[in-house]
Amino acid sequence: MEFYSEAINRLVEELEGLPGIGSKTAQRLAFHVLNMPKERVEQLADSLTTAKEKICLCKTCFTLTDKEYCPICTSQNRNKKLIMAVENTRDLVAYEKTGKYEGVYHVLHGAISPMLGIGPGDIRLKELMERLQGDVEELIIATNSSLEGETTAMYISKLVKPTGIPVSRIASGVPVGGDLEYIDEVTLLRALEGRTLL
């Protein structure tokens, strides 16, 4: 891309480094930004840096939030005895959008993958086990139905069994290898309601 100036090249390269952004899209976005009023560009830049500076992990459920504890964990209306383990915050948001889940979450930040060298120590499993020492009536495992998600579900269920806490797995209305965030709310609800005890 020698036909662009240095500054444009840099912008295109930065955008290209984002997931799902190919070279053409990066160029389109770059020129879009260049055509935006200066204030809008400053707002965009500020929202990026502020988000990065302010966002941290909730001390209870490890979802991304801007406070010590997230709004779900601090809500009086949520059932703290019902915990749903999900792979990431996007999956949590997918379940929140159904508006029907009244429990709380535990964000694992990944799934066990022997192929990628991601072991149980690399996800927030120790923290989940610590939470389960409290008053918990059910743990719902809502990891994706990918190989990694299933491996993680099996691993967790074996780990939790001795505690006597009921462990359930969301029903397989969710297509194999499907990312939870792309699945519609009705399917998600059906998967949640049709969960089975492991």
Nearest to Zn ion of 89, 145 (CB atom):
89
- Check residue 188 and report its DSSP letter: H
> Smallest gap, in angstroms, from Cβ of residue 61 to Zn ion?
3
Phi first, then psi, for residue 133 (nearest 5°) are -75, -15
- From 184, 105, 114, select the one nearest 140 (Cα to Cα): 105
> Which of residues 91 and 150 has its CB atom nearest to Zn ion in the complex?
91
Q: Which is closer to Zn ion, CB of 73 or CB of 136?
A: 73
Interacting residues with Zn ion between 120 and 159 (CB under 5 A): none
Of 104 and 141, which has the nearer Cβ to Zn ion? 104
Q: State the minimum distance, in angstroms, from the CB of residue 162 to Zn ion.
A: 26
Per-residue contact string for residues 4-33; x = within reach of Zn ion by CB under 5 A: ------------------------------
Minimum distance, C-beta of residue 106 to Zn ion, in the bound complex (Å): 9
In this complex, which beta carbon is closest to Zn ion, that of residue 73 or of residue 139?
73
Tokens coding 67: 């406070």
C-alpha–C-alpha distance, residues 138 and 80, integer Å: 10
Q: How far is the CB of 122 from Zn ion (least distance, A)?
A: 20
> Closer CB to Zn ion, residue 73 or residue 183?
73
Spatial separation of the C-alpha atoms in residues 110 and 115, rounded to whole Å: 13
Asked if 111 touches Zn ion (CB under 5 A), the answer is no
The size of the interface with Zn ion (CB under 5 A), counted in residues, is: 5
Instruction: Quote the CA–CA distance of 187 and 87 in Å, as a whole number.
Output: 18
What stretch of H or E contains 107?
Answer: strand 103-107
Give the pair of three-digit tokens for residue 100: 């029907």
Residues of span 34-73 touching Zn ion by CB under 5 A:
58, 60-61, 70, 73
For residue 58, the minimal CB distance to Zn ion (Å) is 3
CB 117 within 8 A of CB 141: no
Q: Judging by DSSP bridges, how do beta strands 79-86 and 103-107 pair with one another? A: parallel
The CB-of-64 to Zn ion minimum distance in angstroms stands at 10
Tell me how far apart the alpha carbons of residues 174 and 103 are, in angstroms, rounded to a whole number: 20
Point out which residues bind Zn ion (CB under 5 A).
58, 60-61, 70, 73
